[in-house]
Structure 1
């Protein structure tokens, strides 16, 4: 009666140990079974068995033997960073056209191929995304995860609010996962941007930061990190500051955001709301509507509502796309850490 649960538990422990060894070697770059055992706390025998399994699967490569100090020289193992790949897609809304910037990345986070596909606004739909993914997976059969960043709110892999109406209510994650048997994440662009910024800073302590974006032709949005974790909210709607009750119709809000005479006070009201609720350490501004001089102007406007002692550090995010892609790559790689046995339908 207990055979099934014991077997399942044993398999789960084995997979957890495999992942521990896998992540340890990635961090160490290379090592012997004794070095891996010391780093993981597992027995040398367990590490030897796992290392041989990973070697047989192609996840590891053997390097030269370790220099002997009198005994039998030990084998040095290195994680095969090109064992599999991920593909990351940044879907972006524009005024005259929409675009997808993509990167095929190995397990070390190194870009193997990158590019950008542009399309007419009405042609940005799920078919355009699926065709790009199909092509990339055909060229790189060892892709095991797909990450998609989108301008909009995402709940359970489905976009429900977006600057690209054709993608609303489309089950992107489920469709790609079913067709290709890969891990799939679909995430809000601002969540990925703030996550990328946070990860690149390598904070020693968990911090709270916010990135707010004001882009020409779009409504504003924000990405929020609270105590080192992305704050998405109950239905993944957190950060959609365009929906703040500012007493304006959407059309009037859009007009004021695109008018330099009204942009600063309106942006400051939205940002002040974020400061009051989140009390972040850092608040980064970005987007084509934000000029370098606007940072101090908006900060001064916020001081009309917020006492100085509670004001965060304001900064301009110079290269938001770099943070966006870094966050997308990091999060997509992390999605593989717990997906230990993917159904590889195409192999």
Structure 2
């Protein structure tokens, strides 16, 4: 009985700590009166929790400010530098493969960003290890590492890491042991779709689609801020649509690429009926959305037509989505 009471008390305290953290994260600087208003917790409870958060470095006590009744009151600031995030994003540009490194604080603000050409002679394991070591040495507060990769690069140990395959020797587990930090992998389109959702803020269901001639297409779905995943963590494998004829690549020839891109978008509209679609592309013909509208043959299909953007911010949305995923990982630790 006593053990059950202890577990219940601990869970209540963790829940209250989460409320305080979230309120301070949103407000950035606050007083106990404001925190009471935001969380509904008593002032006594708030003071006890603030002392715990100050001792752990998550909160910094500031100067006196004005409370709701006009009297001077102690202020408390969320310490966005208490833990840092390291993002590795692998991407292709001009026929070459790069890895982008970026370090972010708990507000998602970027502290440093750079890119490096990937050496084809090195394995991903060595490439990632070397890069991670450099940044962990320079930023001692790094608390989680997220790695995004193009879908057509996903295979072997990387693929098993993304699929959360418990029967495979996973690259993420290997790196976690190496650095004693949580490490996770995600496809770039899943991360970018979440980043697009965060950027829009007013859409319930968002789909991101990578459509680049000569490349494998990929698709992600985000509903109410959650990336939708299928069995083994994989979803949106649109290269296996029958119209790709087992080739699985968007044609290089412009007319063929244009036709197949439109058919792909129409199929995705019918699968989940997203309210917004971001098409990440480099060289599809201009006017794609107008040509898509002209091919809609029934009122029902016209009703399915989402808002569509042609976007060139794949990397930016990917990093934004990875930061959100890293923050979620930190909350669950």
**TM-score grouping bracket, smaller chain normalisation:** 0.7 to 0.9
The alignment status of 1:231 with 2:225, answered yes or no, reads no
Aligned to 2:109: 110
2:213 and 2:257 in contact (8 A); partners too: no
Matched, 1:218 2:212: no
| Aligned CA distance change for structure 1 residues 290 and 70 (closer, same or farther; 3 Å) | closer
In the other structure, the counterpart of 2:291 is 297
Deviation of 1:234 after TM superposition, in Å, equals: 2.0
**SS of residue paired to 2:148:** strand
- Return structure 1 stretches of 4+ with deviation > 4 angstroms: 67-72, 301-306
Whether 1:243 aligns to 2:240 is yes
Please report how far the alpha carbon of residue 37 of structure 1 lies from its aligned counterpart in structure 2 after TM superposition.
2.2
Q: Residues 246-285 of structure 1 correspond to what in structure 2 (within 5 A)?
A: 246=243, 248-250=245-247, 253-254=248-249, 257-285=251-279
Tell me how far apart the structure 2 counterparts of residues 50 and 108 of structure 1 sit (CA, whole Å). 21
TM-fit CA distance, 1:139:
0.8
2:204 corresponds in structure 1 to 207
Q: Is the 8 A contact 2:281 2:312 kept in 1?
A: no
Instruction: Decide whether aligned partners of structure 1 residues 215 and 123 sit closer, same or farther in structure 2, where only a CA change above 3 A counts.
Output: farther
Q: 1:298 to 1:127 in 2, by over 3 A?
A: farther
The aligned residue for residue 165 of structure 2 is none
What does residue 321 of structure 1 align with? Answer: 315
Give the aligned partner of residue 182 of structure 1.
181
Cα-to-partner distance string for 1:256-310 (whole Å, 9 max, x where unaligned): 6111131111122222211111112222212223343333334444659973222
Change (3 A) 1:84 1:226: closer
TM-score between both structures, scaled by the size of structure 1: 0.84
Q: Retained in 2: the 8 A contact 1:264–1:301?
A: no
Other structure's SS at 1:74 match: strand
Between 178-187 and 218-227, report the one with greater CA deviation: 178-187
- Partners of 1:193 and 1:323 within 8 A in 2: yes
**Which ranges in structure 1 are unaligned for 5 or more consecutive residues?**
163-168, 340-347
Paired residue for 1:37? 36
Query: TM-score of the superposition, structure 2-length normalised?
Result: 0.87
Note the aligned Cα RMSD (angstroms): 2.9
Q: State the Cα distance separating 1:16 from its structure 2 match.
A: 2.1
